[in-house]
Structure formats: C-alpha cells, structure tokens
Amino acid sequence: MPPPHHAAYRYFRYSQAAQNVFDAYRNMFLALESLLDTVVPKQSGEGETDWLKRALVDAVRLKGLDLGAFAKPAGKDPVEDFVDAHYSAVRCAVFHSKSSAGQVLRPGSLAAQDTVLQQLLAVQALVEHLMKTEFSVRLPSSGFFHSGFGMLLSQLAPVTGLLISVGECPTVEQVMAEADNLAEGTAVPVTFAGPNGIHTDEWLFVSEIKPKDLSFTAIRSLRLIARPNDHIFLGGIARKMNGTLMSTDLDLQDVSKLVVRVRCVLRNVQSQKRGFSH
C-alpha cells in the first residue's frame, strides 16, 4: 500500500525541485515542522520555540532522531544545541529579513549560500529519518560506495586524458575517427589526485599545462576523456566523461603555467541535491 498523504511530502518535493538553495531550505524546514507536528502536535497557546523543543525531545526519544549534526563542541543537550546553533542562527535568519532582529542570511552572498546549503543537507537527513520511521516511506536509493567508485576512477586514470580546444572540444569518437573540420586543440595528460579534500564523494584529475608549448593562446572548452571500453562499470564512467563538455574562456597570453583541476562527483540515486543557482 502507498504511504498516506502528508503535507511534508509536498514540501520535500518542492525543496528537491528548487533552483535556489534558500527556497530549498525553506521548504525542507517546513517539511520538518510538518512532520514534527504529526509526532508531537502543537498545543493551543504554546510558543513556537517551546513547542519545537518539546517536539524534538520526543522525536529523539521516541523516533530515534539524531541531532548530532547540530551539536556544539562542548554542548550537552542536543535539543538546545539545535535551537541555538540552527533554529535561531539559520532558520530565523533565512525566514526573516529584519536586520535589527540579528543575523540575516540573504540570497546573493556566497558565504550565506554555503552556510544554508550545509544546513539544508543536515535538515534533509532529519526529514528523511522521520518519513521512514513515521510512515515507513522507502526512499529510492542505489549506487556505489564512495571508496569503490574512487577505486574505479583510479583504474581508469591510466587511459584518461584532457582535451583542450579554442572552440568546441570534439568527442573521443570524433578524435578516434580523425573527423574533419575539428576546432584547433590538443590532448594533455592528467593525473588522478584522489579524493577532493574532506569530500568523500568527490575526486580530482589534475593537469599541468605550459602555454608556451601550445600552438594557441586561448581555451574555450575542455573535455575529460577516457578510452571507451565494455567493462560493466568502467564503460559507463568513460561514457559519462566523454559526453561532458566543459565551457570556459581562458586567455593564456603571458601565462607561464596553467593548472586544471577537474572534479568528478558521485551522485547516487536519492543523493542530496547540492547544485543550486546563486
């Protein structure tokens, strides 16, 4: 049987479909409030913060809700930490625009966008947990373990290169077929640099280019390419690489060295959305 209708589903879908991280966050927090109100209904005359604290206490105790992502380094009460570090500092700062009331997180600020995105991902984890425990919702999920996907990229690295061009980079099939009328460009070697810092689902390919060795002084597009193959996993990764064109506008005049870092990101089914417009 399908799960019963609940308003939280709509807020969740609107959050996932949002193009702006602030809209996504607002809808995700509304989904959380809607679910908490189902678990612990707000009483008549009860203050908003008082209800939120009571609802979170019961959700932690009865539903196993984990507020660890919001814990302060020296915090002892996860609910109080959530209210102080998230509700007051982020939720209110996104939902309200009155500077006189304290901190405001506004669209257009890269620092604010990064803060809201990280908090959105943390709130989404709470929403998904409550959906599963309260309604037995089964969210679709499948894909690779991060370590396994990184190992596949390392195996593909020896037959991977970077195409750079003054126009649109050709596909690997066009290069192999020696097609006519291709934009001027060349292939340069890349090195697999492993994980991208603390991000366990991102990896880097790095290429160091000396512009003096090139026959052109501008780059308008790049394409990370790998040799086509029939491997059940490596073949799909190679096709994704070969089909992805990266547009740019680089002037290489008076440049002694250019370092290109290409980020490969793993997004399994139902992975949390991270790509938003500014």
Per-residue confidence (pLDDT) for residue 276, from 0 to 100 = 62
Of the ranges 25-29, 73-77, 118-122, 260-264, which one carries the lowest mean pLDDT score? Answer: 73-77
Decide: residue 178, CB within 10 A, 0-12 exposed, 13-18 middle, 19+ buried: exposed
Rg of the chain over all Cα atoms, to the nearest angstrom: 24
Q: Is 0.85 topped by the overall pTM?
A: no
User: What angle (nearest 5°) sits at the alpha carbon of residue 54, between those of residues 102 and 84?
Assistant: 25
**How does residue 263 score in pLDDT terms, banded at 50, 70 and 90?**
very high
pLDDT tens digits for range 17-39: 888 999 999 999 999 999 999 99
Of the ranges 98-102, 166-170, 202-206, 229-233, which one carries the lowest mean pLDDT score? Answer: 98-102
Give the other-Cβ count within 10 Å of 63's Cβ: 18
pLDDT tens digits for range 117-159: 889 989 999 999 999 898 887 776 556 778 889 999 999 999 9
**How does residue 244 score in pLDDT terms, banded at 50, 70 and 90?**
very high
**How does residue 14 score in pLDDT terms, banded at 50, 70 and 90?**
very high
Average pLDDT, the chain: 89
**How does residue 99 score in pLDDT terms, banded at 50, 70 and 90?**
low
Per-residue confidence (pLDDT) for residue 109, from 0 to 100 = 83
For helices 48-63 and 110-135, the axis angle rounded to 10 degrees is 50
Contact 218, 166 (CB under 8 A): yes
Residue with the bigger pLDDT between 75 and 112: it is 112
Per-residue confidence (pLDDT) for residue 140, from 0 to 100 = 61
Per-residue confidence (pLDDT) for residue 147, from 0 to 100 = 85
Sequence-distant (6+) residues with CB within 8 A of 160 are 190, 192, 205, 224, 225, 226, 227, 241
Per-residue confidence (pLDDT) for residue 273, from 0 to 100 = 65
- In the three-class reduction of DSSP (H, G, I as helix; E, B as strand; rest coil), residue 206 is classed as strand
Per-residue confidence (pLDDT) for residue 103, from 0 to 100 = 74
How far is Cα 15 from Cα 24, in angstroms, rounded to an integer? 4
Per-residue confidence (pLDDT) for residue 272, from 0 to 100 = 62
**pLDDT of 2 strictly over 70:** no
